[in-house]
Amino acid sequence: MVENRTTAMMETSQTAVYADTRKLAMKLTFSIIFALLMVVSANSFIYLPFTPVPVTMQVLTVIFSAIMLGGPWALTSQLLYISMGLAGLPVFAGFKSGLMVLAGPTAGYIIGFAVAAYFCGFLYQNMNSKNRLSETDSLLAGFSSCIAGVLIIYLFGFLHLFGFLSSLSPGRSTSDMIFLSWKSGIEPFIIMDFLKILIIINVLELGKKRK
């Protein structure tokens, strides 16, 4: 009797370990996949004539990874992507690589991607896990988390771009540089990024309807 109970407990423990290992492997695999998708997203780009910041699909990939993987693993994905670029692989926008990219106009966005991936995923996971949300409320949680993620990317991108542009034009006023940073680093991307958020929410909605 005791032997049977011990055997059952061991089998349960082994099953739990196997499930945890499998879950960890899946998360790591998808983190790597999203890091590779960042490479594709970064180099699906268009340069606008009035800004040094290219139009890419990176925001979509960053926010979608945060919703799908959660904060820690989405951050892992972004750190893998950044590490590839710093190691010399041409993964940053425009097939760039190396430390010099961090001195360029887009460095703030790259850092913002990592921060946004964590906080967007963290917000979405916590809002869903701590509350029994209806389907509509869950989609609203996703939408607000996506908005927060995009705002974080904008914040880091704006601050670095402001510093970068100010260093190129030391004689111009602070208000001029704030306006220029807004016009070249945020305003051109607002509508496109909002559409990307809507795409993510639609994917979430389809996923919930299939459950």
Lowest mean pLDDT across 9-23, 65-79, 82-96: 9-23
**Which of 120, 86, 78 has the alpha carbon at shortest distance from 102?**
86
Averaged pLDDT, 82-109: 94
* Res. 136: pLDDT tops 90: no
CA–CA distance from 170 to each of 108, 159, 173, 174 (Å)?
A: 20, 16, 8, 9
Q: Kindly give the interhelix angle for 190-210 and 58-69, rounded to the nearest 10 degrees.
A: 30
Euclidean distance between CA atoms 5 and 177, whole angstroms = 72
| Structure confidence at residue 101 (pLDDT) | 92
DSSP string, 193-205: HHHHHHHHHHHHH
Q: Where are the alpha helices (DSSP H) in 43-134?
A: 58-69, 71-86, 107-129
Expressed in percent and rounded to 5, the helix, strand and coil fractions of the chain are: 80, 0, 20
The domain 2-206: what is its CATH number? Answer: 1.10.1760.20
* Res. 150: pLDDT tops 70: yes
The residues, ordered by sequence, that sit 6+ positions from 165 with a Cβ below 8 Å of its Cβ are 105, 177, 180, 181, 184
| Structure confidence at residue 20 (pLDDT) | 74
Euclidean distance between CA atoms 52 and 149, whole angstroms = 22
10 Å CB burial of residue 2 (0-12, 13-18, 19+) is exposed
**Which of 122, 112, 138 has the alpha carbon at shortest distance from 73?**
122
| Structure confidence at residue 134 (pLDDT) | 78
Q: Which two structure tokens, joined as six digits, stand for 175?
A: 């208000």
Q: Decide: 95 and 43 in contact? Cβ < 8 Å.
A: yes
pLDDT in tens, 151-205: 999 999 999 999 999 999 888 999 999 999 999 999 999 999 999 999 999 998 8
CA 43 to chain centre: 16
**Type of residue numbered 205:** E
Phi-psi region of 97 (alpha: psi -120 to 50; beta: other; left: phi over 0): beta
Domain boundaries, the chain: 2-206
